[in-house]
Chains A and B, each alone.
Chain A
Amino acid sequence: MRRSLLFIPANTPAMLQNADIFDADGIIFDLEDAIQMSEKDAARDLLSEYLKLNTLKDVELIVRINNLDSPFFEKDIESCLAWPIHTIMLPKASYSAIEKLDGLLHKFEKKQKREMMPVIPIIEQAKSLFEVDRIASHPRVAALLLGGEDLATDLGVERTREGEEILLARQLVVYAAKAYQKEAIDTPFTDVSSKEGLSYDAEHAKRLGMTAKACIHPIQIDVINETFMPSQKEIDEAKRIVELEALAIKNGKGAFSMDGKMIDKPIILRAKKLLERVKS
């Protein structure tokens, strides 16, 4: 289940070796923004040696590579294919970048007869929002991550607590993701000292339809896991709906009601999806 994804700079040993302590559902090893140009090689080597230790269990291992146009892109892909990781995260994603990446990966996967490595594109440019549905439709894309900070920079605006400036982007990412049954992951909340601000931001994202949130500091993980975890009440209600559906089918009935409310197909589907998420 993806609720929280923690960014860890790949060149910082202190953080790498403590990655297994925290309860994040996924770790994003960052080779991009967290690493200065002169240290990209060191970051790759360090991450390589760290991953050999195999200390992370039951956690999704994701690598944020450098973008397509950077001089580091190819070496990053080469390394990713050699590493025991699950997912590649592509910054500054556009549909053509996804296609290119897909082509490269496909070549290797065919040669090495291995499964398709999923990609999570980061939607962080104004223009990518106009093709976000195409991006989401790509078979290699598993989920979309909204990059709110870079997007705000692209727009020439400040990020705010209310997030009005990225509201449309958040919604477009959610709609595109849902349209193609991919996951929508919200942008990190950068004020690490404000638990209340994080809670507000995460709740807001959840209400819009995001099902997970990335974060930049381990202290944020608990709030995010709690927010994006279906509540016991929601889980119980979903269980009841599924039970009632089974009963209705058994009795040859189509629609049914629960607590005086008509339960139709969309509600049943949402309930089943929730229970699937909880199970995973």
Chain B
Amino acid sequence: MSQIKNSLDRMIPEGMVPYQGADAIIKKTKRKLIDEVIYNGGNKPVENDISSIFDKLSISDGMTLSFHHHLRNGDGVINMVLAEIKKRKLKNMTLAPSAIFPVHEPMVELIKAGNITKIYTNYINGPVAQAIEQGFLKELLVMDTHGGRPRAIESGEIKIDVAFIAVPTCDKCGHGNGTEGPSACGTLGYAIPDLLYATYKVVVTDHLVDRVKKVDIDGRYVHYILHVPSIGNPEGIQSGTTKPTRDPIQLKIAKNTAKLIDELGYIKKGLRFQTGAGGTSLAVAEDISHIMKEKNVVGSFASGGITNFLVNMHENGLFEKLYDVQCFDLEAIKSYQKNKQHIMMSSSEYANPYYPKPIAHELDVVILGATEIDLDYNVNVTTDSFGHIMGGSGGHSDTAYGAKLTIITTNLVKSRLSMVKNHVRTITTPGETVDVLVTERGIAINPRRTDLIKKLEHSKLPLMTIEDLLKKAHDMTGTPKEKINQGKVVGVVRYRDGSIIDCLYQYQGA
């Protein structure tokens, strides 16, 4: 495959738009919108098995089917559709699920057999990721960000023939929400672009009622209701109570991160904050909440994937509002159900670079993770140090771009491997949008941020250059043999504007 270089010196397939800078394309282009596909406000036909849906909609070879990932690793909808594709021996299908989890293992067979030949997604983990990195997907895997996916759908770039929208509770008109029912999952932010723009919309539910309490899914866009016994496994849907970490190294990282945010003056009235759902991210939130309480600070909002921890912060008066693109646990779902200040945001409202004022662009501070980071502060969250595909941007690139202060937290060294590299294996988020790296052995500030460096002149925090951190790591571990990317390209990583920031290569290890 012919390749050309993008502005980060990464090779990308010829014929695709190369990444040219975080603002390059967005500032030069206007938002492109195809027409919304509205159907009608009346009762919708209710089907009881997937087969009738395939018949009624004439789902055939080469079509694009889409899904959201609010049911996470408890999802039952994708597998239901896969089984039907397999039964009908459909070929060359394109799937556009917003994320793929280990529960979607049945997809592997269909990929190998050519039933599915192309996939668009924002995050991928498990057997399907392994199958793709081994080169079984006939066409390229296309990875977008949480903000890039709605951009691609609303502009017509990804043309969805049928959107299967899992909705935990809906009425006979197709109006629904994710907060009621046995498979409740909370907000349905990722489903909105599919709902508005797909040619046909099928709401898939296991809880059909006369009246819904809240309308998060507008039935006027819906064509069919597929009523099945179960749309998923509640245990897999809720990640369980996500708690702050107890690992002393992560706790040290968290403590220093909170200190840094405080020293930079961000912990003040009106704070707009986002952090991940992992143990370290929540530990940072915990430390920040202590400082906020001490200083009597009330933040404006906390956003992102919402956990019970953030709900507690809000209920304790630390944040006025919660902007929620997905719920991670039961407490978050309950809070969304009863609290008017807990607000759902669609993926566009969250992170679409062309949306007027997405929440991601309103952030003061965001705390993010990394599998690798390089001397230019480019961050990898798509592949691990060994080249396995195990993640994807999700909202990483979007929030890194939009937040005034973007902080990456990670161990410096894990099992002899340094997380700081000369070059990351895959660039997910460009270094120009990343400001600070906090590790257990030191904190590095992106030299572009002379303002932050100046503010921290007299700080007692362990500040050093990222080159120093790399040296520290190599002093401990020895200098590793670094692997260069080569071989068959199995996928592309798209920046939020649709340009190609890097490629995914066939896994070459043992």
Answer yes or no: do A and B interact: yes
Q: Which residues of A contact B (CB under 8 A)?
A: 17-18, 21-22, 192-193, 217-219, 222
Report the minimal beta-carbon distance from B92 to chain A, rounded to whole angstroms: 49
Residue from B248, B249, B251 whose CB has the most chain A CB atoms within 10 Å: B248
Instruction: Report the count of interface residues on B (CB-CB < 8 A).
Output: 9
Inter-subunit contact A21/B246 (CB<8 Å): no
Complex CA–CA separation, A193 to B251 (angstroms)? 13
B161 at interface by CB-CB < 8 Å:
no
Complex CA–CA separation, A193 to B248 (angstroms)? 12
Residue from A17, A18, A193, A217 whose CB has the most chain B CB atoms within 10 Å: A18
Report the nearest B residue to A21, measured CB to CB: B440
Inter-subunit contact B248/A217 (CB<8 Å): yes
Within 8 A of A (CB), among B199-250: 246, 248-249
10 closest A-B pairs (Cβ-Cβ)? A218-B248, A219-B248, A21-B440, A219-B251, A21-B252, A18-B249, A21-B249, A21-B441, A219-B246, A217-B248
B34 at interface by CB-CB < 8 Å:
no
List of B residues within 8 angstroms of A21 by Cβ: 249, 252, 440-441
Inter-subunit contact B246/A193 (CB<8 Å): yes
B16 at interface by CB-CB < 8 Å:
no
Report the minimal beta-carbon distance from B477 to chain A, rounded to whole angstroms: 10
Inter-subunit contact B248/A17 (CB<8 Å): no
Inter-subunit contact B248/A22 (CB<8 Å): yes
Chain B interface mostly helix, strand, loop or mixed?
A: helix
Can you list 18 A-B pairs, Cβ within 8 angstroms, ordered by A?
Answer: A17-B476, A18-B249, A18-B440, A21-B249, A21-B252, A21-B440, A21-B441, A22-B248, A22-B252, A192-B246, A193-B246, A217-B248, A218-B248, A218-B252, A219-B246, A219-B248, A219-B251, A222-B255
Report the nearest A residue to B247, measured CB to CB: A219
List of A residues within 8 angstroms of B248 by Cβ: 22, 217-219
Complex CA–CA separation, A217 to B246 (angstroms)? 10
Complex CA–CA separation, A207 to B248 (angstroms)? 28
Complex CA–CA separation, A18 to B441 (angstroms)? 10
Report the nearest A residue to B441, measured CB to CB: A21
Report the nearest B residue to A221, measured CB to CB: B248
Report the minimal beta-carbon distance from B262 to chain A, rounded to whole angstroms: 16
List of B residues within 8 angstroms of A193 by Cβ: 246
List of B residues within 8 angstroms of A192 by Cβ: 246
Complex CA–CA separation, A222 to B287 (angstroms)? 13
Report the minimal beta-carbon distance from A104 to chain B, rounded to whole angstroms: 36
Report the nearest B residue to A17, measured CB to CB: B476
Complex CA–CA separation, A218 to B440 (angstroms)? 13
Complex CA–CA separation, A17 to B252 (angstroms)? 15
Report the minimal beta-carbon distance from B460 to chain A, rounded to whole angstroms: 12
